[in-house]
Chains A and B, each alone.
Chain A
Amino acid sequence: MKKLLSIVLVAVMVLALGCTAFADGTEITYWSMWNEGEPQATVIAEAAEAYEAETGVHVNIEWKGRDINTLLSAALESGEDFDLFDDDYTRIGQVYAPYTYDLTEMAEAAGYEGYACFNNQAIAWAGYLNSLPEQPNVGGVFYDKAAFETAGIEAAPATWAEFLDACAKLKDAGIDPLAQDDAYCNFTFYYHLVRYLGEDGIAELRENGGWADNEKAVQAVQDLIDLVNAGYLAEGAPDAYPSSQNKIGLGLAAMVVCADYVTAEVNANTGTEVDWGMFNYPTVEGGASADAYMGANSLAIPSYSEHAQEAFDFALFLTTGEWGQKLADDCHQIPADPTNECTSLPGAVETLLAAEKPMSWCGELNTHPAWQTMRDMFVEMFEGKYESGAEFCAAMDALYE
């Protein structure tokens, strides 16, 4: 018995020594917004192994999932021990900014350029570069190229008139033109409103009301009501997410207004590989803006991290070059490194590079006290419950009383 106990104790000591030796090497802790088993997580885990083999720095990954935003504030405020995290870049730029590392010097030293639209926005919010995009997103109209070919549409529509023309051709070809899920009704509505008023114009309406007196607002809503009345929405739309967008994968609908992740979602949900195309949301005559929605899940480093350089190096290792390409290919996403190729959505990188100011996700309306009622009204409008733009805008004004 004593011998057995001695052997166990020796084994424990050897293990402890081994662990101590391991701890002597540098280790960084990465709080990830992905869940183990997701394509992104698989690539990240492989990249971490490759990074360790190359540099000797061990990356300890903790998979926190999408609810990481409920943990980060408290963790950063209390100085919790981690060196790298990812989340929506709007939150990193605005909410976590006081606790994030200034990456400017390290980025310059590494020759990092990235996308100007995200870098400029991050600097505008935080006062310095505090995040590196890991999964850039771009909004617009995503379509099935095969459906366009069947309908004889040769060029992607650039204006609202061309868009309606494309809808008519698709309908004639027996394909429902536009998929629309309830979850994204606010996004489509906002996009169209931005075309007429720009985000500054929407901000003014948000503050002071006067929707019914604003001809452009009335016209924007009327356009959408006409779209619904013309029967250009997919059958059953606005449907419960993701039923309507899935119809593109099933060959029943042709287009959807969303961000680029819709392509991977539809492919995964329907088990198909749609040949996706994308174009910027159509412009309108006398409109105020042609901006596109842009967002990103980005990587950032806590300001108090003792291994900021190692964390930055790993972030760069993951998002650029070989691993950045693998991340884009395996996860069907836009590459975080603009020098890489976007295999899932040709043209997306160029769109992001050309953009200066990203459009927000309903940012000028979603903090209004009556936002929930507005959101329901947008869905109701797509359900056909409003006769005219004037009626809808009058109902919007009533929310200000």
Chain B
Amino acid sequence: MKKNRTLIFLFMAPTVICLLLMYVYPVLRTVAMSFFRVESVTADMGLWRFNGVDNYVKIFHNSGFIISLRNFLAIWIVGGVITLALSLLIAVILTSKIRFQGFFRAAIYLPNVISAVALATMWVQYIFNYDYGLLNQLVTFLGFDKVRWLGTDAKLWAMIAAFIYGSIGYYMLIYISGIEGIPTDLYEAATIDGASKGKQFFRITLPLLKGIIKTTITFWTINAATFYLWSKLFSPVQTEGSTIVPVIYLYDTVFGGKGVVERDAGAGAAVGVVLTLIIIAVYIVTDKLLKSSDLEY
């Protein structure tokens, strides 16, 4: 069949134009903005003043941004390891023909259906509450002093724990779909050969889920980098060092915060660029470490 170049162009044009206008242009504008002194995010380009890498110097000299990066790393590494490991463990258990499988799947996935606002409120106002919270009731029942779960030392970890609770179900479902795609005859053959359940997991399940694991790591990285709502809900009045994350810092830099009218869209753009570079770096490292194999599910 003869190729009709005009027709191909016409069919592709709407998508290409949308992509250029809604994705490429904002990305290029943001990168360019990060090298200029710009007050308002929508300011006319004629008002931009070139200031080299000053925006990057500024954000890396601001304690808010440094703390936000540290918090991001804690969420990404500690939260990531716990969430992905627990999700995988639960997925393996729930695909091993245990009783009430459907119920457990639904119960563990349930927090994903509930609004994050309601979930965070439940954790902050009920579970972590100093006076009547579930955890402190347990602690006092065991004869210990009450703990300030939302004090400056513990607030980040409290937030991460709550976020993990709300995330496990989502990753569990991804792993379950991956595990269910692995042919059962592989496990049957391994069982006949005398392989234990542990060996089957490390020699069959894990290697064949490499692609899925890579995907979940990328998803988790994006989730951690764009972590916003939970931080806002754990510090509802104004941004706090214990819960600040890069996106919150970006928001405050671009729009100002409580009692702060100073705005710096250029510095905000620099934060966006740094975050993007982090996500790209994580993807490249993950891709190198978890090399794709021919056999994956």
Give chain A's interface residues, CB within 8 Å of chain B. Answer: 69-70, 73-74, 77-78, 90-91, 94-95, 181-184, 186, 235-236, 238-241, 243, 360-363, 366-367, 369-373, 375-376, 379-380, 383, 399
Determine if B99 is an interface residue (Cβ-Cβ < 8 Å): no
Cα(A94)–Cα(B148), bound, Å: 39
Given contacts A236-B146, A363-B259, A383-B151, contact A78 B241 (CB under 8 A): no
Is A383's CB under 8 angstroms from B130's CB?
Answer: no
What 1/0 mask marks residues of chain B from 212 to 235 whose CB sits below 8 Å from any chain A CB? Answer: 000000000000000000000001
Given contacts A74-B42, A383-B151, contact A372 B261 (CB under 8 A): no
Is B238's CB under 8 angstroms from A372's CB?
Answer: no
Cα(A217)–Cα(B81), bound, Å: 45
What 1/0 mask marks residues of chain B from 15 to 42 whose CB sits below 8 Å from any chain A CB? Answer: 0000000000000000000000000111
Min CB gap B89→A, angstroms: 31
Closest to A362 in B: B259
A369: chain B residues at CB < 8 Å are: 61-64
B256: chain A residues at CB < 8 Å are: 69, 91, 95
B128: chain A residues at CB < 8 Å are: 240
The 10 closest A-B pairs by CB, nearest first: A361-B259, A183-B237, A236-B130, A240-B150, A372-B64, A74-B42, A376-B241, A372-B241, A373-B63, A370-B63
Closest to B62 in A: A369
Closest to B258 in A: A361
Is B240's CB under 8 angstroms from A376's CB?
Answer: yes
Min CB gap A372→B, angstroms: 4
Is B146's CB under 8 angstroms from A91's CB?
Answer: no
Is B237's CB under 8 angstroms from A375's CB?
Answer: no
Min CB gap A163→B, angstroms: 24
Is B148's CB under 8 angstroms from A236's CB?
Answer: yes
Min CB gap B127→A, angstroms: 11
Cα(A134)–Cα(B17), bound, Å: 45
B259: chain A residues at CB < 8 Å are: 90, 360-363, 366
Determine if B137 is an interface residue (Cβ-Cβ < 8 Å): no
Could you say which of B40, B129, B239, B255 contacts A77, with CB atoms under 8 Å apart? B40
Min CB gap A379→B, angstroms: 5
Is B261's CB under 8 angstroms from A77's CB?
Answer: no
Chain B residues 124-168 with CB under 8 Å of chain A are: 124-125, 128-131, 146, 148, 150-152, 155
Is A77's CB under 8 angstroms from B42's CB?
Answer: yes
Could you say which of B63, B152, B237 contacts A371, with CB atoms under 8 Å apart? B63
Determine if B102 is an interface residue (Cβ-Cβ < 8 Å): no
Is A70's CB under 8 angstroms from B255's CB?
Answer: yes
Is A184's CB under 8 angstroms from B237's CB?
Answer: yes
Cα(A243)–Cα(B236), bound, Å: 12
Cα(A77)–Cα(B39), bound, Å: 12
Is A376's CB under 8 angstroms from B130's CB?
Answer: no
Give chain B's interface residues, CB within 8 Å of chain A. Answer: 40-44, 61-64, 67, 124-125, 128-131, 146, 148, 150-152, 155, 235-242, 244, 255-263
Is A95's CB under 8 angstroms from B261's CB?
Answer: yes
Is B67's CB under 8 angstroms from A236's CB?
Answer: no
Is B130's CB under 8 angstroms from A239's CB?
Answer: yes
- List 23 A-B residue pairs with CB atoms under 8 Å apart, sorted by A's residue number: A77-B40, A78-B42, A90-B259, A90-B261, A95-B261, A182-B240, A183-B235, A183-B236, A235-B130, A240-B155, A362-B259, A366-B257, A369-B61, A371-B63, A372-B64, A372-B67, A372-B239, A372-B241, A375-B241, A379-B151, A383-B151, A383-B152, A399-B63
Min CB gap A383→B, angstroms: 6
Cα(A183)–Cα(B240), bound, Å: 8
Given contacts A69-B255, A184-B237, A240-B128, contact A376 B261 (CB under 8 A): no
Min CB gap A3→B, angstroms: 40
Closest to B128 in A: A240
Cα(A224)–Cα(B44), bound, Å: 48
Is B41's CB under 8 angstroms from A373's CB?
Answer: no
A183: chain B residues at CB < 8 Å are: 235-238, 240
B41: chain A residues at CB < 8 Å are: 73-74
Is B262's CB under 8 angstroms from A367's CB?
Answer: yes
Closest to A75 in B: B42
Is A380's CB under 8 angstroms from B152's CB?
Answer: yes
B42: chain A residues at CB < 8 Å are: 73-74, 77-78
Is B124's CB under 8 angstroms from A240's CB?
Answer: yes
Closest to A78 in B: B42
Is A91's CB under 8 angstroms from B261's CB?
Answer: yes
B44: chain A residues at CB < 8 Å are: 77
Is A241's CB under 8 angstroms from B237's CB?
Answer: yes
Given contacts A77-B43, A91-B261, contact A241 B236 (CB under 8 A): yes
Cα(A368)–Cα(B103), bound, Å: 52
Cα(A143)–Cα(B255), bound, Å: 34
Min CB gap B82→A, angstroms: 23
Cα(A367)–Cα(B252), bound, Å: 11
B125: chain A residues at CB < 8 Å are: 243
Cα(A369)–Cα(B235), bound, Å: 20
Is B152's CB under 8 angstroms from A236's CB?
Answer: no
Cα(A380)–Cα(B152), bound, Å: 7
A243: chain B residues at CB < 8 Å are: 125, 129-131
**Residue in A184, A373, A399 whose Cβ sees the most chain B Cβ within 10 Å:** A373
Is A379's CB under 8 angstroms from B152's CB?
Answer: yes
B43: chain A residues at CB < 8 Å are: 77
Is A372's CB under 8 angstroms from B244's CB?
Answer: yes
Is B260's CB under 8 angstroms from A366's CB?
Answer: yes
Min CB gap B149→A, angstroms: 8
Min CB gap A263→B, angstroms: 16
Is A376's CB under 8 angstroms from B242's CB?
Answer: yes
Cα(A326)–Cα(B39), bound, Å: 39
B236: chain A residues at CB < 8 Å are: 183, 241
Is A182's CB under 8 angstroms from B150's CB?
Answer: yes
Closest to A90 in B: B261
Closest to A369 in B: B62
B155: chain A residues at CB < 8 Å are: 240
Min CB gap B236→A, angstroms: 6
Cα(A243)–Cα(B125), bound, Å: 8
Min CB gap B233→A, angstroms: 11
Is A236's CB under 8 angstroms from B131's CB?
Answer: yes
